[in-house]
């Protein structure tokens, strides 16, 4: 099993999956998403001998800085924004419904699709350098990989609304206070060690009980209509002049001037 954008290491039943596009701050492009899909949906789907996955990002600056803006501008211009969101939902559900726990180790930026990816994991361990946020409004779009649904689930409607409407990021301490992350550790090694410790503890429990716990916890939150509404709204925002301006501003490294069209 070989991957272009993922590194996979396995020790004592714990698999560390590292997203490896550090020059683009591990932004999620279509190829990386395909590989994540293959990992959770095919390659490791039937691996009942493992008891957990640690998902992290390479390079020390970011977990994931979002969907790859330069690439998805093209997807949106072809009118496929809504389909792109649906596809992301499908892949992130594979993670959320995986038969063993997936722990995100977040060091640096977890923004947009990166925050959404961390939220699709079962547990989140942050370093003190971690930053979480849904900055899509800065581009004239909305979260499209489940952020409007899962941020509510973790931190409640009021604070989720504030973060999504302002686009303001929060640091690890605040993310911990709000319940978005389970633990904050000083650095990457310590965070990885904490994730390993949690997965080792979970690995001593009955595997069927763990799998069924995940299934039952997820059942409380399944809201297909919410996700479909998000995909539609995301698709609509990708068709606007505002998104063209927001994406151009990002690429040109300047502030966007939105006209509401």
With CB under 6 A as the contact rule, which of the stretches 11-19, 107-115, 154-162, 183-191 interacts with ligand HXC?
A: 107-115
Give me the least distance between CB of 6 and ligand HXC, in Å please.
Answer: 17
Distance (Å, rounded) from C-alpha 224 to C-alpha 149? 10
Q: Which residue number, 10 or 71, has a Cβ lying nearer to ligand HXC?
A: 71
Give me the least distance between CB of 256 and ligand HXC, in Å please.
Answer: 11
Joined together, the tokens standing for residue 105 give 């180790």
Give the end-to-end CA distance of the chain in Å, rounded to a whole number. 46
**Residue 111 interacting with ligand HXC (CB under 6 A):** yes
Q: Which of 25, 34, 29 is nearest to 72 (CA)?
A: 29
Could you tell me the strand order of the sheet in which 109-111 lies?
62-64, 109-111, 131-133, 170-171
**Residue 88 interacting with ligand HXC (CB under 6 A):** yes
Subset of residues 219 to 258 that bind ligand HXC, contact rule: CB under 6 A: 234
Q: Which of 256, 247, 218 is nearest to 76 (CA)?
A: 247
> What is the phi/psi pair of residue 65, to 5°?
-90, 15
Distance (Å, rounded) from C-alpha 94 to C-alpha 38? 10
Joined together, the tokens standing for residue 58 give 């390479």
Binding mask 115-154 for ligand HXC (x = CB under 6 A): --------------------xx--x----xx---------
Give me the least distance between CB of 149 and ligand HXC, in Å please.
Answer: 12
**Residue 65 interacting with ligand HXC (CB under 6 A):** yes
Give me the least distance between CB of 65 and ligand HXC, in Å please.
Answer: 3
Residue 2 CB-density burial (10 A; 0-12 exposed, 13-18 middle, 19+ buried)? exposed
**Residue 170 interacting with ligand HXC (CB under 6 A):** no
Q: Provide the total of helices (H) and of strands (E) in the chain, helices listed first.
A: 11, 10
**Residue 109 interacting with ligand HXC (CB under 6 A):** yes
Give me the least distance between CB of 153 and ligand HXC, in Å please.
Answer: 17
Strands (DSSP E) contained in 179-236 are: 183-185
Given the residues 35, 82, 96, 136, the one annotated as active site = 136
Given the residues 82, 116, 162, 245, the one annotated as active site = 116
With CB under 6 A as the contact rule, which of the stretches 81-89, 93-101, 148-156, 158-166 interacts with ligand HXC?
A: 81-89
| Inter-residue contact 35 to 6 (CB < 8 Å) | yes
* Interface with ligand HXC (CB under 6 A): 24-25, 27, 65-70, 84-85, 88, 109, 111-113, 135-136, 139, 144-145, 234
């Amino acid at each position: 099993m070989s991957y272009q954008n993922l590194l996979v290491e396995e020790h004592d039943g714990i698999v560390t999956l590292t997203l490896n596009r550090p020059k683009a701050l591990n932004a999620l492009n279509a190829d990386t998403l395909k590989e994540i899909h293959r990992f959770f949906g095919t390659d490791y789907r039937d691996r009942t001998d493992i008891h957990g996955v640690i998902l992290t990002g390479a390079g020390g600056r970011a977990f994931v800085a979002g969907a790859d803006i330069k690439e998805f501008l093209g997807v949106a211009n072809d009118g496929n924004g809504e389909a792109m969101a649906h596809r992301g939902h499908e892949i992130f559900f594979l993670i959320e419904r995986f038969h063993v726990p997936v722990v995100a180790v977040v060091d640096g930026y977890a923004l947009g699709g990166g925050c959404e990816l961390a939220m699709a994991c079962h547990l989140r361990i942050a370093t003190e350098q971690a930053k979480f946020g849904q900055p899509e409004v800065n581009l004239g779009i909305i979260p499209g990989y489940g952020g409007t649904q899962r941020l509510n689930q973790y931190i409640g409607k009021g604070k989720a609304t504030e973060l999504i409407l302002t686009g303001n990021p929060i640091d690890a301490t605040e993310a911990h206070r709000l319940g978005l992350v389970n633990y904050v550790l000083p650095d990457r090694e310590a965070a990885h060690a904490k994730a390993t410790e949690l997965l080792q503890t979970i690995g001593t429990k009955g595997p069927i009980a763990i799998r069924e716990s995940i299934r039952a916890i997820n059942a409380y939150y399944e809201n297909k209509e919410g996700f479909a509404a998000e995909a539609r709204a995301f698709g609509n925002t990708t068709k606007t002049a505002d998104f063209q301006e927001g994406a151009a501003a990002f690429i040109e490294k300047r502030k966007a001037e939105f006209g509401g069209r």
